[in-house]
Structure formats: C-alpha cells, structure tokens
Amino acid sequence: MKAALSVKADAAALATHAGSLQALESAMQAAESRLANLTASHETFMREAQGGIVAATRAANEARAAVVAAASLASLRESTAASAAEVHTLQHELDGVRKALADVHTMMDAKADIASVNAVLETKANKATVSQALANKVCHTARTRRGRRIPMQCKHTGHARVCARYAVRYCVSP
C-alpha cells in the first residue's frame, strides 16, 4: 500500500509537474511572441528613428541654406544700396553731360540755320545791294531789295548778320 500511495503521489506530482511544464511552455511561447513583437517594434522604431534623423538632417540643412541665403541677401542689399548711390551719382553726371550736349547741339543747329539762311539770302537777295552794303561797311543800317534803309542792331562783332525779316544780308562793322 505504501508503494501504491507513493506511486499515486508520484503520479500526482508528475501531473502537477506536467501542468506546470505546460504552463511554462505557454509562458515561454508568450515570451517568444512578445520578444518577436518587441523585435519588430524595435526595427520599426529604428527605421523611424533613422527616418527622423534623415528628416532632422534635411531640416538642419534647409535651415543652414536659409541662413546662407539670408546672409547673401543682406550682403546683396548692402552692395545694391552702394550701387544705387553710385548709379544715382552717375545718373546725375550723365544728365549734366546730356544737357551740355543738348546746348552744343542747339548752338550748332543755330549756326547751321544762320549759314543756310545766309546762303539762301546770298542767292536770292539783290547782289548789288549786298555788295554795296559790304563795300560801304554800313553800320546800324541795311538796305532792302528796293533800296530802302532799315535800322539794325549791331553789336560791332565784325561779322555779317542776317535780317530774316527783310531777307537781306548786312554787315556789322566796328
């Protein structure tokens, strides 16, 4: 009997051990599945972390590029301001040169007009009146085509002047 009781106790102990062994196996399987889940989570986290590092690196590079662009824009504005002042000065000087050139053109046009009027009047005017006026060196008067004397404004420059009103050439003598 004792042996039978001991066999029964051993069988009960074995059954208990088998139950605990099954519990350990299920716990081990649960731990393995948790380990697999944690490994997958770790891999996902590492991929996301690397992606985050890449994104952070990109953001840092973009920030550096923005800072460099802002610095270059500031230097460009400074150089542009200096250039704008130089351009304004050059524009002012250029306006002065243009004005002086316009004055020279006006004077040249006036001289050309006088010369052309003189040429026309020499051909059209009574040559006898012109030559007589030049020969007599008439001052302060001139003659029309009909011989009438007209007063003129003489500055005593010694050059022939044109009276366009009467279409005659007269001499200014000192």
* pLDDT value of position 174: 40
Out of 7-21, 34-48, 57-71, 118-132, which region has the weakest mean confidence (pLDDT)? 118-132
Q: What is the pLDDT of residue 90?
A: 76
pTM of the predicted protein model: 0.31
- The residue extents of the domains of the chain are 88-174
> pLDDT tens digits, residue range 62-93?
878 778 887 787 777 777 776 777 777 777 78
* Burial tier of 170 (Cβ tally within 10 Å: 0-12, 13-18, 19+): buried
| Three-state DSSP state, 160 | strand
Please report which confidence band the pLDDT of residue 110 belongs to, taking 50, 70 and 90 as the band edges. Answer: confident
Average pLDDT over residues 111-115: 71
